[in-house]
Structure 1
Amino acid sequence: MILEPKMIEEVQAAVQEAKCLGVRGQGTKPALAMAWGETAVLSTRHLSGILAYEPNEYTFTAYAGTAVSEVITTLAQNNQYLPFDPLWVEAGATLGGTVAANASGSGRYRYGGVRDFILGVSFVDGSGQLVRGGGKVVKNSAGFDIPKFMVGSLGRYGILVELTFKVFPKPRSYVTLQLQYASLHAALFAMFKLAVMPFEMDVLDLAPELAGKATLIIRLGGLPEALPGRVERMRGFLQEQTEVETAVLLENEADITYWQAQNRFDWAFAASQLVKIPVTPKQIPTLDKHLTNTLRRYSAGGNVAWVAADDMTALQTTLTELNLAGLQFTGHTDDPYLGSRKGRRFAQRIKKALDPNAVFSTND
């Protein structure tokens, strides 16, 4: 049974009546939207709409079921945007699902992810009570940052119903520079060099190829008249410091089209399971040795790995051995968590406080 409330009061009533309840938005991340044995699923997709938008204050509040595309269109009217680069926008991703899954794209590199832009949340806890956190006073009296805690919560502690974000002025233009290197090691070296330089990059990604080569992907945003000079300075630096094999510059529509495809994960096989793995740049060489026959990308300056896996058992073993954690976004699964489960005891204590009767579906 799928419940589709249109008001917060209906969400509260559904929780109060349910013994076990799964939560989803538009279902753009199917591995996370699966119901794990519950008798009902609550969808927030009809709990939608922008409640308040103050362009001069660079903030907005919207219902959790609001499509991210609607927010992007509204912000664009005032040349503003969501710098954390939400994913699966064209597929209908919602604000609540984006927060619950902590789904940020490559563009999070410069300014940060969802946690850096969420200001306030309202959610319905396991008792059906409406809980508010954040706003102008970001932390509660105990110093607990509720909005940030709900990022990546996957519906374990409550159903998000309202969200408040800060936004930024949108760069007037973008360009993307793709630099191919002979090996992953050479591309990583270039990434390390760039990361400590003041080039103000919006994106710094690394794309290994199955043939052994690797491409460094850089995106710059800003004034259109300033971008050519910034690109040339970066190119000059890299030519002095590294051995670039080929370079491709994407501008205007080519740049936009490329990043739309990246945020849809077009590079991953449709039949594969997409897994997100938090890493550090120094962990990449060790992890990558286990992924030589697997499509993958290293995003956000090498701090996030996206893996299109075919053999989930092998990936589970690899992550466990390397003490890394993974989260499956697409494909079928009974449990989207892979590898090492960090912070599990703390999460269980919070869940017991917010959902004492274990109404919300979870694998904790």
Structure 2
Amino acid sequence: MRPTSLTEVLEAVRATPKLLPRGGGTKAALSTPREGQAVLDMTGLSGVLEYDPAEYVLVALAGTPLAEVEALLARHGQYLPFDPPFVEQGATLGGTVAAGLSGPMRQRYGGVRDFILGVQFVDGEGNAVRGGGKVVKNAAGFDLPKLMVGSRGQLGVLVELAFKVFPSPRATATFKVTFERLEPALEAVHELASSPLEFYALDLETNPTTLTLRLGGQPEALPSRLERLRAFLGHPPDTHTLLMEGERERGYWRFVGRLEWGHGYLVKVPLQPGKIAALERDLPPGIRRYVAAGNLLYLNWLDAAEKLDSLLKAHGLCGIVLRGDAYPAVKETLKSPLLGIDLEHSFARRVRAALDPTRRFSLDP
């Protein structure tokens, strides 16, 4: 099913007992149907409905590709500050909200929850529901737009979304500092995150241990800000640095946004920076990136998902598999995209029961 209007979405929901909304299909672990589920292809509902650059507000249909939105905003010197990944692979606005995904540049202004203003969706009983609006301040009430962030399509089929957008930095530069050990890198993350310095990205990679810092602003101000950053770091011993600017720098961040790391599961793990050191002692060697000053981990996992599930539980963490198959040496069927501890509270269960009482959209086994 590929609806092209709200009416067709309503009809599809009412006629189908088990339904899985899907956008661009870039997060296969969340958009692959389970037994008995029919796929609702939302890419037919695409297009920007309203955009006033002077008001910094954009309204678009849920199946609109992120690439189309970013190109439109760029023509007016604006962007989505939560820095959604998978733009080049065809991710959509609705799929990004449903998966709750933000990228490294969320460091400066916040994640997708901080920028969604309003939603229209179809609930599990086939009713069209609106929440929020097109202004930053709304009357007090139930915050449906934020509830949709990370809902995995289990509260309803997103049809229309409104976002606030920001002016793009006129120039950017990226400074990479590679450490021989993890401990001083973690200390630097803590000091930088609590410093008066402002970053568009503050990331930590562990293979090798590298801090990646992105600055943005007026072109004439960047050189002095980079010098201030170097002075703040104090040119730590046993490190080496790299400065990227221009097209090379922009190309690097496009590569980061693809999150393409080969075989294995791509897993998103929210965490606190204080848990990184202990987690790193238990994680096997591999590719991973801690973004937003260590508050979010994107992890490439090459073993059985069951092992990562146990490891995350041992550290009091949860994770969600976004895409990928088991490593060729591991044969398994992913039972659920959710790993680690269960953070769903009674409030969330009540919301699900209210919006989807027959579990029409449930992804869980």
> TM class, shorter-chain normalised?
over 0.9
The correspondence of residues 320-331 of structure 1 with structure 2, limited to 5 A, is 320-331=313-324
Candidates 159, 177, 180, aligned match of 1:179: 177
The CA distance in 1 between the partners of 2:176 and 2:238, in whole Å, is 10
Candidates 241, 246, 261, aligned match of 2:240: 246
Q: Secondary structure at the match of 2:323?
A: coil
Report how far residue 4 of structure 1 moved: 0.5
1:142-181: CA deviation from partner (whole Å, max 9, x where unpaired): x321101100000001000000000001101110000011
The correspondence of residues 138-287 of structure 1 with structure 2, limited to 5 A, is 143-209=141-207, 213-239=208-234, 242-243=236-237, 245-266=239-260, 268=261, 270-287=262-279
Q: Secondary structure at the match of 2:195?
A: coil
The CA distance in 2 between the partners of 1:29 and 1:343, in whole Å, is 21
Gaps of 5+ in 2: 326-333
1:105-143: CA deviation from partner (whole Å, max 9, x where unpaired): 0000110000000000000001111000001385665x3
Structure 1 residue ranges (4+ consecutive) displaced by more than 3 angstroms after TM superposition? 136-141
The CA distance in 1 between the partners of 2:123 and 2:7, in whole Å, is 13
The count of corresponding residues between Structure 1 and Structure 2 is 355
Q: Secondary structure at the match of 2:254?
A: helix
Report how far residue 344 of structure 1 moved: 4.1
Q: Secondary structure at the match of 2:43?
A: coil
Candidates 10, 13, 18, aligned match of 1:12: 10
The CA distance in 1 between the partners of 2:357 and 2:245, in whole Å, is 53
Q: Partner residue of 1:355?
A: 356
Q: Secondary structure at the match of 1:61?
A: strand
Report how far residue 362 of structure 1 moved: 2.1
Report how far residue 345 of structure 1 moved: 3.0
With 34-43 and 7-16 compared, the bigger mean Cα shift is at: 34-43
Q: Partner residue of 2:331?
A: none
Q: Is the 8 Å Cα contact of residues 80 and 169 (structure 1) preserved in structure 2? A: yes
Residue 319 in structure 1 maps to residue 320 in structure 2: no
Q: Is the 8 Å Cα contact of residues 85 and 259 (structure 2) preserved in structure 1? A: no
Q: Is the 8 Å Cα contact of residues 173 and 223 (structure 1) preserved in structure 2? A: yes
**CA spacing shift, 1:244–1:310, aligned 2, 3 Å:** same
The CA distance in 1 between the partners of 2:66 and 2:258, in whole Å, is 14
The CA distance in 2 between the partners of 1:320 and 1:167, in whole Å, is 37
The correspondence of residues 127-142 of structure 1 with structure 2, limited to 5 A, is 127-135=125-133, 136=135
The CA distance in 2 between the partners of 1:343 and 1:356, in whole Å, is 17
- AA at the equivalent of 1:263: G
The CA distance in 2 between the partners of 1:331 and 1:38, in whole Å, is 22
TM-score by length of 1: 0.95
The CA distance in 1 between the partners of 2:166 and 2:182, in whole Å, is 34
The CA distance in 1 between the partners of 2:322 and 2:185, in whole Å, is 27
The CA distance in 2 between the partners of 1:38 and 1:45, in whole Å, is 22
1:158-214: CA deviation from partner (whole Å, max 9, x where unpaired): 0000000000011011100000111111111111111111111100000012xxx41
Q: Secondary structure at the match of 2:7?
A: helix
Report how far residue 5 of structure 1 moved: 0.3
Q: Is the 8 Å Cα contact of residues 139 and 145 (structure 1) preserved in structure 2? A: no
1:245-271: CA deviation from partner (whole Å, max 9, x where unpaired): 1000000011111111111114x2x11
- AA at the equivalent of 2:210: T
Report how far residue 232 of structure 1 moved: 0.8
Q: Secondary structure at the match of 1:247?
A: strand
Q: Is the 8 Å Cα contact of residues 18 and 361 (structure 2) preserved in structure 1? A: yes
Q: Is the 8 Å Cα contact of residues 140 and 146 (structure 1) preserved in structure 2? A: no
1:207-255: CA deviation from partner (whole Å, max 9, x where unpaired): 012xxx4100000011111111101110011026x43510000000111
The correspondence of residues 86-105 of structure 1 with structure 2, limited to 5 A, is 86-105=84-103
1:280-310: CA deviation from partner (whole Å, max 9, x where unpaired): 1101001111114232111111000111001
The correspondence of residues 29-48 of structure 1 with structure 2, limited to 5 A, is 29-48=27-46
Report how far residue 60 of structure 1 moved: 0.9
With 330-339 and 282-291 compared, the bigger mean Cα shift is at: 330-339
The CA distance in 1 between the partners of 2:137 and 2:14, in whole Å, is 28
Alpha-carbon RMSD across the aligned residues, in angstroms, is 1.4
Identity between Structure 1 and Structure 2 (%): 47
Gaps of 5+ in 1: none
Q: Is the 8 Å Cα contact of residues 174 and 251 (structure 1) preserved in structure 2? A: yes
The CA distance in 2 between the partners of 1:31 and 1:43, in whole Å, is 16
Q: Is the 8 Å Cα contact of residues 44 and 63 (structure 2) preserved in structure 1? A: yes
The CA distance in 1 between the partners of 2:36 and 2:353, in whole Å, is 18
